[in-house]
Chain A
Amino acid sequence: MSGLSRRGVLGLAGAGVAAVGIGAAAGVLASGEPAPAPRGPDPSAPVPFRGQHQAGIITPAQDRMHFVAFDVTTRDRGALVELLREWTAAAERMTAGREAAEGGAVGGSRQAPPADTGEALDLPASALTLTIGFGPSLFDDRFGLADRRPEALVDLPHFRGDDLDAKRGGGDICVQACANDPQVAVHAIRNLARIGFGKVAVRWSQLGFGRTSSTSTAQATPRNLFGFKDGTNNLKAEDPAALAEHVWVTEGPRWMVGGTYLVARRIRMHIEIWDRTSLAEQEDIVGRAKGSGAPLGQTAEFDPVDLHVRGAGGVPLIPDDSHIRLASAESLGGARILRRGYNFTDGSDGLGHLDAGLFFVCFNRDSRKQFIPMQQALSAHDRMMEYLEHTGSGHFACPPGLAEGRFWGDDLFG
């Protein structure tokens, strides 16, 4: 059944548009004209599934995400490897804008349930990326992987103020689905979960409705639910030297070289309390002006943060307990991370408040030297913590990208 192949034509057209778009933007900049608001690549085009690194890390951050963590329920190593092979095939198809299986939605036997769940028919690839990671618990005695656990894949320590819900953390395997259409992201996770029944079970999952980071200089900086531009100083795809230093793994087991470590934190924001806080205090807590995003003491968003400027009475303009000071590379011995988080609202809390916040996702080369010291500094001193509650947590090793013919985890299990 080929009549209903999903969105191939649209995808190709989109890719062309994207190339033109980037060229045009570069031309404007080169000619010295004022740059237009940065826009990312075409939002419906497919993103290549295979490559040196997994997609969904330095890919320009898509607008939506669906993140899932699985427990492996089978004890059969061969069955798990076979599942990873099946997942890879389905993931490659879906990221190209196709059904999870050929003719999957309506092309099969009328007496059988369709092999693809169908809700993404007629939708373009929407820049879907599927990124896999392996959690610390996978490296126990079930699959003989104990000696393959990277030293960097530690169990995250308790951070001050953590209020973690066991039903929102951990997991043997994670898959991050990002797309510019939420239905495309959910479709991908739903179909992977379905393929996995009997071998894996969904442990927890999280939807994100809006990106809070830009991972490319072609993207404008989005705002988080506190109303502030978030991730201005993020690592960007256009800076390969910084990515090599802070994101891509070069040491440890061979199966991780070229990979990276993912940390996920579900951070509930007490937005109602925040909304009653004066603008001056909000800006002091963040360390940036709310409107422009400029660091306090500077005038424009991308002005370098200057931690050494003091105002009347010698009081630092960027307070000692402000978020950007504590999270700055200067305060952390040069440590940086690639942030790729999403705003979420999971309904309400039953007390008249939105259950809203930031689903924080970051990628780093060694969480022991980057994310963990950063979060230790923030949880201990960041005045913003007053408005935050960390309710979910996960740490995963994301292997490098796949060459043709390879499948997820084949180096790990091989």
Chain B
Amino acid sequence: MTARPLRACLTGVAALVTLTACGDSGAAPGGAGGPIAVQAKDDACGVARAEADAGTITFEVTNGGSRVTEFYLYGEGDRIMGEVENITPGLTRKLIVEVADGGKYQTSCRPGMTGDGIRAEFTVKGAAARQADANTQLGEATKGYQRYVNAQVEPLQTKTAEFVAAVKAGKVDEAKALFPVARTYWERIEPVAESFGDLDPRIDAREADLEPGQEFTGFHRLEKDLWVSGLRADSGKVADQLQTDVTEIVNRAKTVELTPLQLANGAKELLDEVATGKITGEEDTFSHTDLWDFQANVEGSKAAVAALRPVVEGRDAALAKTIDERFAAVQSLLDKQRAGDGFKLYTDLSAAEVKAFAEAVDALGEPISKVAEVVAQK
């Protein structure tokens, strides 16, 4: 499937508590006292008021100088609270910042967009209600999921290596058998993998999703070679590159730290993958081993939810129960399609069976989509 970086608009603990960093537009513009005018000149930065109440603070920055300028609000240690760049002479631009905590801040105009800027103290009074994230359960959740990721990347590495070796040795049947096995570990942690932008398309792009001029590489290129066109002169090279890219993912995944909210969204995204890529049979269009990927996505989603389960159970027991039941319903449908160590080919499913899968995945996706909100509750 296409890459969706697991980037949340949430960075750090503060974001966990207040979702406003994600572009909440509900707050009153300007805040108490209305917008604060800033007259930016080449050698001065006139801020009309040097203090404001905590919450939403709006600056209106007018460039009265001759050089393009920028305006910043800094927190302690030059942490950027908000900035507006590229204000050309004569222009007025708006900067709306959410400041949750009272304390000392600094404003800065940077004529010419270089240097430290013309700074001034800025005081924020009071504090918007917030609560430190003392919830050890949430901390445990991220550690628990980290252990799961680590448990997947090792076999991902070794099974990919076996697959690559089979391709390079021209052992087509063996490579075909290993293809869905190696992908299982990949698909379980796909949202983590996708967070590393450029690597995901190299490893997992489908032919139809390539940009003009982009080389077709990775699992699906080798899938096409194995099932459709036969191994080609450069199949070995593609296999080597796959190994290199997977190794890099493995190394990076070991250090990735996901917030509980990212975990919840990752669980949902794995089901989205199923709904948009696997249910349609688009993922493994040459091998038709989509059900392996389907199973792996469901397992990955379940693992992310499991890590959060104590929190969800404590805050919304009914939701936890619904999710359990619906995971079980999807799994029972998958179990009916098992064949040997794996699954039937996707093309062997009847239309009615595909529809049953789609309905079960939709039924599961709805309650999973509610987990993030439960986790974000204060």
Contacts and interface: CB of A to CB of B under 8 A. Distances in A.
Contacts of A291: 25-26
Contact of A309 (B19, B93, B276, B354): B93
Interface of A: 157-158, 160-163, 270, 272-273, 276-278, 280-281, 283-284, 289, 291-292, 294, 296-299, 303, 306, 308-315, 317, 319, 350-353, 376, 379-380, 383, 385-386
A299 B96 contact: yes
B97 interface: yes
Given A280-B23, A289-B23, A352-B362, A312 B2 contact: no
A309 B25 contact: no
Interface in B307-351: 351
A352 B209 contact: no
Contact of A280 (B24, B84, B87): B24
B interface residue count range (under 10 / 10 to 19 / 20 to 34 / 35 or more): 35 or more
B83 interface: yes
A351 B11 contact: no
Given A276-B268, A309-B95, A351-B358, 5 more contacts: A273-B276, A298-B96, A311-B21, A312-B81, A386-B4
Contact of B275 (A270, A289, A306): A270
Contact of A315 (B11, B279, B358): B11
Judged by DSSP, the binding face of B is mixed
A139 to B, nearest CB: 24
A313 B11 contact: yes
The list of the 10 closest CB pairs from A to B, nearest first, reads A280-B22, A276-B369, A289-B25, A351-B358, A308-B85, A308-B86, A299-B29, A314-B80, A310-B83, A296-B23
B163 to A, nearest CB: 26
Nearest to B35: A299
A309 B23 contact: no
B23 A385 contact: no
B23 A163 contact: no
Contacts of B365: 272-273, 276
28 contacts: A160-B211, A161-B209, A276-B272, A276-B365, A276-B369, A278-B369, A280-B9, A281-B9, A283-B22, A283-B23, A284-B9, A289-B25, A299-B29, A308-B84, A308-B87, A309-B85, A309-B93, A309-B96, A310-B85, A311-B21, A311-B82, A311-B98, A312-B80, A313-B12, A313-B79, A315-B9, A351-B354, A352-B359
Contacts of B22: 280-281, 283-284
Nearest to B11: A313
A351 B355 CA distance: 5
A369 to B, nearest CB: 17
